[in-house]
């Protein structure tokens, strides 16, 4: 079929780009994240010149979070549907993986083998325990609870989704990294989105206001870079297909939106009660 041949040719060409494709996508991601950050600062965060009540800004943040949730869930559903329609998506996945591995130098694979450790279960669990401990010691109990629910909830969600889809991992015989268990969606990808995204959120809300305003954009860009790099490392190392990673990004983003929205609601309710009790 001409269309199928064209799809295969495009997928293989993209795989042959290797690192060029990775850096090109990262170069698109960072300006997009910057734009979203600017929009959030402009329309969803109160300022000294704001005329809207705090509740209106909360509604804007919640509506934005809902839009992110719906969009991410739609992306996940599209990928899952494509995988369920037949072997074609899996064949294209394999073609892309083979082309990517063949075009990537050994030194780059070594770097990705290090990067992927940032999304290991042990690493993310250490972040989970460490940040929760610090928050509790600082008396930020509700923020600590939100953090723990975000990290542990995503782990449970990813395990459930893997068991539901039961997709086999690509064959990987490299000594650099080994992975077992089901493949879809990528736990490294979703876990990195949630943990590093929530870490940026927690830091922004824990720093003094003036410092938080200056640090918020760098923290957002760093979190996006880490999550994206960890997810891509799984494809370069051939322990996940590209669609596994895309689905992991989608599910992680959806869960992150739910968690941030829930924390924002809790914070608003707490401030409202404190004001009413005065």
Q: Label each residue of 75-105 as H, E or C.
A: HHHHHHHHHHCCCHHHHHHHHHHHHHHHHCC
Residue 153 lies in a domain: yes
User: Looking at residue 202, what is its pLDDT?
Assistant: 94
Residue 99 lies in a domain: no
- pLDDT-based confidence at residue 5 (cuts at 50, 70, 90): confident
- Lowest-confidence range among 42-46, 97-101, 176-180? 42-46
Residue 166 lies in a domain: yes
Residue 122 lies in a domain: yes
Dist CA 90 CA 172 (whole Å): 16
- Lowest-confidence range among 6-15, 23-32, 37-46, 148-157? 37-46
- Lowest-confidence range among 47-51, 191-195, 222-226, 258-262? 47-51
Q: Is the pLDDT of residue 269 over 70?
A: no
Q: Report the C-alpha dihedral over residues 127, 129, 132, 134, rounded to 10 degrees.
A: -80
Number of domains in the chain: 1
pLDDT (tens digit per residue) in 192-238? 999 999 999 999 988 888 888 889 999 999 999 999 999 999 999 98
Residues serving a catalytic function are 188, 240
Asked whether the bond before 185 is cis by omega within 30 degrees of 0, the reply is yes
Residue 15 lies in a domain: no
Residue 181 lies in a domain: yes
In contact, 26 and 112? CB cutoff 8 Å: no
- Domain with 211, as residue range(s), is 25-82+104-276
Over pLDDT 70: what percentage of the chain?
Answer: 87
Mean pLDDT of the region 47-53: 60
Residue 127 lies in a domain: yes
Most confidently modeled range among 5-19, 20-34, 97-111 = 20-34
H or E element at residue 34: helix 19-43
pLDDT (tens digit per residue) in 130-184? 999 999 999 988 899 999 999 999 999 999 999 988 888 887 666 677 778 888 9
| More confident position, 266 or 156 | 156
User: Looking at residue 273, what is its pLDDT?
Assistant: 59
- Structural tokens at position 79: 């990928």
Mean pLDDT of the chain: 86
- pLDDT-based confidence at residue 85 (cuts at 50, 70, 90): low
Residue 237 lies in a domain: yes
**Could you tell me the pTM of the whole model?**
0.90
């Amino acid at each position: 079929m001409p269309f199928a041949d064209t799809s295969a040719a495009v997928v293989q060409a993209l795989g042959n780009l290797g690192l060029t494709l990775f850096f090109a996508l990262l170069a698109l991601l960072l300006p997009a994240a910057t734009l979203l950050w600017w929009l959030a600062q402009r329309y969803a965060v109160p300022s000294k010149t704001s005329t809207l009540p705090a509740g209106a800004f909360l509604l804007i943040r919640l509506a934005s979070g809902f839009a992110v949730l719906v969009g991410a869930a739609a992306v996940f559903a599209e990928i899952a549907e494509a995988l369920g329609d037949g072997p074609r998506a899996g064949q294209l996945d394999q073609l892309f993986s083979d082309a990517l591995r063949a075009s990537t130098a050994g030194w780059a694979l070594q770097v990705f083998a290090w990067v992927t450790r940032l999304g290991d279960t042990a690493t993310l669990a250490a972040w989970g325990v460490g940040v929760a401990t610090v928050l509790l010691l600082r008396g930020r109990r509700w923020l600590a609870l939100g953090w723990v629910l975000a990290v542990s909830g995503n782990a449970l969600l990813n395990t459930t989704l893997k068991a539901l889809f039961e997709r086999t991992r690509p064959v990987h015989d490299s000594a650099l990294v080994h992975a077992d268990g089901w493949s879809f969606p990528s736990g490294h990808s979703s876990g990195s989105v949630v943990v590093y995204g929530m870490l940026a959120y927690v830091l922004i809300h824990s720093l003094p206001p003036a410092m938080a305003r200056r640090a918020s954009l760098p923290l957002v860009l760093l979190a996006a870079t880490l999550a994206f790099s960890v997810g891509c490392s799984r494809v370069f190392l051939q322990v996940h297909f590209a669609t596994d990673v895309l689905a992991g990004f989608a599910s992680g983003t959806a869960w992150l939106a739910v968690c941030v929205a829930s924390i924002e609601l809790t914070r608003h309710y707490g401030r409202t009660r404190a004001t009413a009790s005065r």
